[in-house]
Chains A and B, each alone.
Chain A
Amino acid sequence: MAEQDLKVVGQSVLRRDGMSHVTGKTQYIDDILLPAMTHLKMVRSPLHHARIRSIDFSEAEKVPGFVRAFTYKDVPKNIYTILCLIGVGPDEEPVLAEQEVLFKGEQIAAIVAETEEAANEAVARVRLDLEELPPVFDVEEALKPGAPIIKPWGKNHFEYEGHHCRRIRFGDVEKAFAEADYIVEGCYEPKPIEHAPLETTGCVAKPEADGRITVYTNTQALYFSMDNTALILQVPFNKLHFVGGTVGGGFGGKVDVIVEPIAALAAMKIGRPVKYLYTRSEEFNVSSTRVAYRIYFKDGVTKDGRIIARKVISYADAGAYNRHTPYAVTKHAANITGPYMIPNVYVDAYCVYTNRVPTSAMRGFGVTSASFATEVQMDKIARTVGMDPFEIRLLNGYRNGDMRPYQKVVGDATLVEVVQAAAEMVGHPVREPYKSMHSWDRDYSPERHQPLQAEEV
C-alpha cells in the first residue's frame, strides 16, 4: 500500500487505556473482591533439594478460618509440562510436590482460609518432615559423572530428539579454524534476572452455578493457561472460562501457568471463590527468572576481520523444571551468530537442570543472551584484528540472500542500514567501502554463499 493511502496506521493516536491506567481506574487482580472469597497460600520447600517424609496439617487445621488443605493427591493430573500444548515433553513438573522437592520455594501444599492472615498462619503451622538431599547448582557440575541426578530419566539435561543438546551443524568449523589467521575465544555469563512486574502474578477462580469455573487472571496467554489448567484438572476445556486481557507488567513472567490450576481446583472443591496472588516476596523468590547461561565461543577470524567459523558450547540453566527453557534454548541456538554471515557454524546448546528456582520465558527469550555474547565477542574480535567496531559489523553483517546457519535464506535484512545510521547519529566516521555497503549488495543466489568462500566486498 502506498504511503499516502495510510490514514490511521503511522499516526501517534492517543493510547486507549492510558487514562485508565494513570488514574487508577484499571481493574487488576487485586481489585477483585467477590462474596465469600477465600485466600490460598502455599506451603513451600525451605530446602533446595529434599525428600518429603511427611506433612502434618494438625496444627494448621486448628487456625480459626482454616478451610482446607490440598496436596498432590488432590490434583487429578499432578505432573505436567507447560509446553505439552506444542508437543514438548515429557511431563516433569508437579503442581504440588510428591516425594521430592527440587528447589527452595517449591510448592508442597496449598492452604485455603477465610482471610489472608488465617491462610498465612495456617501455612506457618504446617510441619514438614524433610530429608535433605545433596543439591547441584552449577550447569557444568550438573552434567559431570557423580553429580546428584535430579530427573527421573537419569540425566540432568533435556533430550532433543535423541540428542543431549540442540545442535546446529553448518559447514566445517574445524577446516575453517585451520585456515583462520586468529582464533578468538570467550566465555559469556549473563546471570538470572527477575521480571519485576508491578502487578504480581495471580488469579481469582470462581465456581459458577452451572458448574463452570471462571478464572480472572493476569496471564499473558489466556488460552495457553486455560488449556493447561483443563489438562491438569482433567476437565473438558469448555468447563473453564478465562477472563483477562490487561496485565500489570508481563515481560514473559506471566506465561508459566502456576497459580491458575491450583486456584481453580480449590474453587471447584470448596465451591467458593479462591484468590491466589503472589506476594512481592513470592514474585522475587519463587517465580521463574530469566535463564542464566554460560556460553563458550571459539571463532576463526581472518586478518581482514571476517569471521569464518564459530563453535559454541552453551549451557542454559533451566533450574529445577522445564517451564519454557527447552524451547528458549532452540531459539538461543538459532540466534547465536547474531546478525552476521558466518559460513561455518557448530553449536551444542544444552538445557541443564539444577536445584534452583526454575527459569523460563523472559523478554528476549534465548536471544538476549545470544546478542550479549555475540556483541561482546564482536568487540573482542575487533580489538584482535585492529578494526573499528562499526566497520567490523558492516563487514560481517548479513545481507539479503545470505544463508543463516539454520539453513534459511535471509529476506528482511537491514543490519547494515541501522549500523550506518547509528554511526551517522553519533558522528562516527565510517570509511569506504563500508559507507557504501547495503543489505542488497549481494546477488540473491543462496548457492553462492557456500561455506569457506569469503565474499569480496
Chain B
Amino acid sequence: MAKVRGTGISSVNYPTGMNLGGDPTQALIHMTTTGTFVISLASTDLGQGLKTVLAQIGAEALGVPMENVLIDTGDTDTGPHCMGTFASRTTHRAGNAIIMAAEEAKKTLFEIVADELEARPDDLEADGTGFIGVKGSPDRKIHLVDAALAGHFKYGKTVAGRGIFFKPNLGVDPETGKMDPDSTEAHACVVAEVEVDTETGDVKVLSLHSVYEIGRQVNPALVEGQIRGGSVMGLGHALYESTEPYYPNPEHRAGGFFEYILPLAPDVPEMEMRVLEYPSENGPFGVKGFGEMTANAPIPAIVNAINNALGTEISCHPVTPEVVLRALEAKK
C-alpha cells in the first residue's frame, strides 16, 4: 500500500569495566637483547584488534616504535592473570597495566643509557624512533639494541617492568543498591531513519548517524570498525534476531545461519559517524571502554523511528514484519 518513513533517536551511556570492580589485569614487560619489548598478558583478542591497540599503548608508554613491541598473549603458563575480554574492560585494564609496567622498565633502561652517555636519567628521552638520548642534544643518543646489549653484557641489568590495574570489589548494599558500577562512562547518540512498508510490514533502515564519545581513540580505524560492526549487529537485534521468535514459547528455534536471520550486505544502511574525545580521568591516555555499546544504541533508535513512522507504540524487539502488522492492526 504505502511506504512511510520515520526518524528515531537514542542516547545512551555505557560503563567501563566489570560492574562492581574486582576485575584486575596484569602486564609484564621485559626487553630482549634484540631491542624488543615483550609484553606478556593473558588477554584475548576477539577480533576487535586488542593485540594492535595494546601494542600502540605499549609503544607510546615506552617511547619506542611499534616494531619494537611484541604482544605475547594467550598462554596461562607465561601470561599473568587477566579477568577476560568482556565488560568493555580490556583496553582500559590491560592498557593501564602496560603503562605501569612500562614506567618500571623505562627506569632501568634510562639508568643504563645514562651510564653509557654519561648523563643523568632525568635528562633523557625516548624519541619514538628507537633511540634514547639527552634532551636538547641530538647527537648524544644510543639505539635500543645497543642499550639492551650494554644492560646485559656490561652492567648486568635486566630491563623489565610489572603492572596491574586493580579496582577492588566493593559489593552492593542490598537495601539501597548503593554501588560503584563503573570506572568511567562512554556516551553515544544515534539517529535512525527507516522506511516501513505498511502492507508487508517490512522495515528498511535507510541511515544511521552516530556520535560516540569514548575518551580517547587509540586507533581511529579500529574505532570506526567497532561502530560499523556494532551498528549492523544492533540493526539485526532490532529487526530480525531471536532464538525463540514466539518467546516465551521455547519452540521454533533456528538451527543455523539459514534459519536465523542476520543482516546481510544489502541491509547495511548509509552510515555517518563522528567521534568526540573527552579523555577520562582513569583510562590509559584517557581511554574509555566502548566495545559493547555500539550494538546497544542503534536498537532503540530504530524502534523509535518505526514508531515515529507508523504512530505505533512497539515496545519489543525484534520488530519483525509480524510485529509491525499486529501493531498497525491494534492501532485501527
Contact = CB atoms under 8 A, between A and B. Distances in A.
A161 interface: yes
Interface in B205-231: 209-213, 215-222, 230
A12 to B, nearest CB: 4
Contact of B44 (A194, A245, A292): A245
Contact of B296 (A361, A364, A407, A415): A364
Given A338-B12, A364-B295, A418 B187 contact: yes
A80 B107 CA distance: 45
A302 interface: no
A186 interface: yes
Given A241-B77, A372-B317, A411-B184, A418 B179 contact: no
A1 interface: yes
Interface stretch (A30-38, A175-183, A220-228): A220-228
A405 B172 CA distance: 13
Interface in A4-45: 6-18, 21
Interface centre among A10, A138, A168 (most CB of B within 10 A): A10
A138 B230 CA distance: 30
Given A339-B12, A367-B292, A284 B254 contact: yes
Contact of B85 (A169, A221, A426): A221
Interface in A187-240: 187-194, 196, 219-224, 226, 240
B83 A368 contact: no
Contacts of B82: 221-223
Given A10-B216, A221-B84, A285-B253, A347 B296 contact: no
Nearest to A295: B315
B142 interface: no
Interface residues of B, dominant DSSP: loop
A436 B249 CA distance: 49
Contact of A422 (B79, B86, B87, B209): B209
Contacts of A48: 250
A375 B291 CA distance: 20
Given A280-B255, A339-B187, A371 B285 contact: no
Interface in B1-56: 7-15, 19-20, 22, 42-47, 49, 51-52, 55-56
Given A221-B44, A222-B82, A357 B243 contact: yes
Nearest to B75: A243
B81 interface: yes
Contacts of A410: 185
Given A188-B315, A425-B209, A347 B177 contact: yes
Contacts of A367: 12, 14-15, 292-293, 296
Interface stretch (B111-119, B131-139, B152-160, B276-284): B276-284
A138 B244 CA distance: 12
Contacts of A451: none
A446 interface: no
Contact of A189 (B81, B182, B220, B316): B316
A209 to B, nearest CB: 15
A428 B9 CA distance: 11
A151 interface: no
Interface residues of B, number: 121
B128 A363 contact: no
B243 A415 contact: no
A376 B218 CA distance: 32
B160 to A, nearest CB: 21
A389 interface: yes
Contacts of A244: 44, 74
Contacts of B249: 137
A161 B174 contact: yes
A390 to B, nearest CB: 6
A366 B176 CA distance: 19
A357 B210 CA distance: 34
Contacts of A72: none
A255 B262 contact: no
B11 A191 contact: no
B274 A246 contact: no
Nearest to B80: A223
**For the complex of A and B, 9 pairs with smallest distance between CB atoms:** A245-B74, A221-B84, A375-B300, A168-B177, A12-B221, A161-B174, A339-B13, A422-B189, A375-B10
Interface of A: 1, 6-18, 21, 48, 86-87, 104, 137-139, 160-163, 166-170, 186-194, 196, 219-224, 226, 240-252, 255, 280-281, 284-285, 289, 292, 317, 327, 330-331, 333-335, 338-339, 347, 354-357, 361, 363-368, 371-372, 374-376, 378-380, 389-390, 393, 397-398, 405-408, 410-415, 417-419, 421-422, 425-426, 428
12 contacts: A160-B174, A194-B254, A241-B76, A241-B77, A242-B76, A246-B44, A250-B85, A335-B13, A335-B15, A364-B295, A412-B185, A418-B213
Given A15-B49, A250-B85, A331-B181, 17 more contacts: A11-B219, A186-B315, A190-B317, A191-B247, A220-B84, A222-B42, A222-B44, A245-B42, A281-B255, A284-B260, A285-B253, A330-B19, A338-B13, A356-B248, A357-B250, A376-B300, A425-B211
